[in-house]
Structure 1
Amino acid sequence: MSPSAPSTVLETSLYVNDLSAAERFYGDVLGLDILLQTGGNHTTFRCGPGVVHVFDPSSSRDRESLPAHGADEPIHIAFGVPTDQLAAWRRHFNRHDVAVEHTKQWDEGKRSIYVRDPAGNSVELASATLWGTMTRAERLTRVRPVLDLDTTESRPVERFQNETLRPILKLLNPTILRLVAVRLSRYGVGFAAMDRVDQRDRLRNLMKEDGRLKRTLLGMVVGHLTEDELETYLAHKDEVRRRTVPMLLARAQDQIDRIVKQLRGQPGEE
């Protein structure tokens, strides 16, 4: 069985003859934090989930503990930044007397600017989405809680409920409770003073009768669906809605104390 393809770049290496000048450029100008310094050999900077090694090639070519490596000519590295910050980066480089060598307009509004580090390496700052490193579906699913549910024997709608709806509702839990509390406060029914049985009944009636709240909550859930999940939702819309509303109600009824805290102006526990 073949291993999975690599999912991210952990290390990138550059080569310079003046480590001090490189530390000023990558640390002071680009704002990267120094993770490790090995005197006369290399400096490592933290960048997101990975690192950038800056080596003195005369040292990195003469190694025993790890494979030797090095480069004599300028090489290239690109850092991802938000597109709307590229103009600010250009002004920032001007303040540090770093010349912008080139600019590039890519498709879909993505852009790049290019400068040189003190060793002559080409340094690009590009729209973080330039290579489509994460799709909308990946962004949506990555933030969802992972629920350990066996759905192998489930029907399509049941699988959709457990694999998609339940994680989304758990992710949106603080927002759901906040919206329920806001709607309760509009009716001025003294919810916090009710006994638990009456509170559960009041929530049931609210979810049944308040069409605006129901549409808001359902719309919020739909907005967190991927395109494939949306197709499943549209194909089974009525049944999915019939399943979602009781799940929303159960979530509110199970967390009445948090709703009461919000009605009293106290922050709910996360």
Structure 2
Amino acid sequence: MKFTQIKETCLYISDLDSAEAFYHGILGMPLISKVKNRHIFFRCGNAVLLCFLPEVTKNEKTLPPHFAYGKQHIAFEVSQEDYKKSVQTLKENNISITHEQEWKDGLKSSYFEDPFGHVLEIVPAGIWE
């Protein structure tokens, strides 16, 4: 197999409206789909961020059941030029940076949390190269 990318990433949340306010309203991800009492999906670059209510999807009959609980992690990549602006946008929206990590070549990433306690990260392009 020669994968080209991870197309979908999933978080399990407890409130669709809070997810919309955070991921669309603050982080600026375009909304793709919202189904009351089930899910909300966002465009993230070439990928899709799926946010499901786990109490619903763990009982799926049509698709394979899936769910998770606890602190999940996703890193969002921005250009190196946009990194500082992205971190500043978080701060301007009263989102605390919980940790800043310095990686190879002096690149840094910043960790923060969504309204559900998931550990999110902003990384500049080049971190994994």
Q: Fold-level match, TM-score > 0.5?
A: yes
Question: Post-superposition shift, 1:109?
Answer: 2.8
Q: Partner residue of 1:89?
A: 86
Within 5 Å, give how 1:29-68 maps onto structure 2. Answer: 29-68=26-65
Q: Partner residue of 1:70?
A: 67
| Residue number among 21, 33, 45 corresponding to 1:24 in the alignment | 21
Determine if the alignment matches structure 1 residue 111 to structure 2 residue 108.
yes
For residues 94 and 112 of structure 1, what CA distance do their matches in structure 2 show? 14
Amino-acid identity (%): 31
For residues 104 and 36 of structure 1, what CA distance do their matches in structure 2 show? 34
Larger Rg: 1
Q: Relative to total residues, which structure has the larger helix share, 1 or 2?
A: 1
- 3-state DSSP of counterpart to 1:32: coil
Question: Post-superposition shift, 1:90?
Answer: 2.1
Q: Deviations over 1:222-269 (max 9, x none)?
A: xxxxxxxxxxxxxxxxxxxxxxxxxxxxxxxxxxxxxxxxxxxxxxxx
8 Å contact from structure 1 (residues 35, 44) kept in 2: yes
Q: Partner residue of 1:8?
A: 5
Q: Which runs of 4+ in 1 moved over 4 A?
A: none
Question: Post-superposition shift, 1:83?
Answer: 2.1
Please provide the CA RMSD for this pair.
Answer: 1.1
For residues 77 and 46 of structure 2, what CA distance do their matches in structure 1 show? 12
- 3-state DSSP of counterpart to 2:85: helix
**Equivalent residues, number:** 129
Question: Post-superposition shift, 1:88?
Answer: 1.5
Question: Post-superposition shift, 1:31?
Answer: 0.6
For residues 39 and 9 of structure 1, what CA distance do their matches in structure 2 show? 26
Q: Partner residue of 1:125?
A: 122
- Opposite residue 78 of structure 1, the aligned amino acid is A
Q: Deviations over 1:201-231 (max 9, x none)?
A: xxxxxxxxxxxxxxxxxxxxxxxxxxxxxxx
8 Å contact from structure 2 (residues 87, 122) kept in 1: no
8 Å contact from structure 1 (residues 83, 111) kept in 2: no
For residues 119 and 58 of structure 1, what CA distance do their matches in structure 2 show? 15
- Opposite residue 98 of structure 1, the aligned amino acid is I
- 3-state DSSP of counterpart to 1:78: strand
- Opposite residue 37 of structure 1, the aligned amino acid is K
For residues 115 and 40 of structure 1, what CA distance do their matches in structure 2 show? 26
Q: Relative to total residues, which structure has the larger strand share, 1 or 2?
A: 2
For residues 84 and 26 of structure 1, what CA distance do their matches in structure 2 show? 21
TM-score w.r.t. the length of structure 2 is: 0.94
TM-score w.r.t. the length of structure 1 is: 0.46
Unaligned ranges ≥5, structure 2: none
8 Å contact from structure 2 (residues 20, 40) kept in 1: yes
Unaligned ranges ≥5, structure 1: 133-270
Question: Post-superposition shift, 1:85?
Answer: 2.1
